[in-house]
Amino acid sequence: MSVTQYEHKFLELSHYAPALVADQEERCQRFLDGLRPEIRHSVATIDWNVFGNLVESATRVDLSINEQRSRQDRGQKQSASNLEVEESSFKNQRMRGPSSAGGPVGKGTWGGSPQQRTQALIPSFSHGSPEMESATTFLSPSRWQQCG
């Protein structure tokens, strides 16, 4: 239930027990007690005595929490779709077998293009929590160790 929905229900029910919410301070305390813990913890640090201000603050916290969840959900969906693309690419590569283009073909020679492009998932901490992002890196033949 959103804070706005809770406010409407709270005001509706307060008509049946006016003695419990006789003044602003009591009304604020009762409203605060009924908030979800994640919202209550954020707004409880202030000594509220104006009901409208408490409702406004709680509504802003509720919106902030919902936006954060939405960003996290989008990040998880994006990470999941990137992972599916990577897995699909890996499966297709395994089914086709090793490619003759790219990689060392003989002692000290390079059978691929001058630069080999690779795609990898790397951790990103840009939003405060670790997420996986796709990154493209370029490896040149000189960076490979020659064997044999």
* Structure confidence by residue, pLDDT tens digits, 80-105: 777 666 666 666 666 665 554 554 44
Of 118 and 73, the one with more pLDDT: 73
Domain count for the chain: 1
Model pLDDT for residues 100-126, shown as the tens digit of each residue: 455 444 444 445 454 555 555 555 555
97's tokens:
């077998």
d(CA 32, CA 41): 9
Domain residue limits at 69: 3-81
Residue 14 lies in a domain: yes
Residue 60 lies in a domain: yes
Q: What is the pTM of this model?
A: 0.47
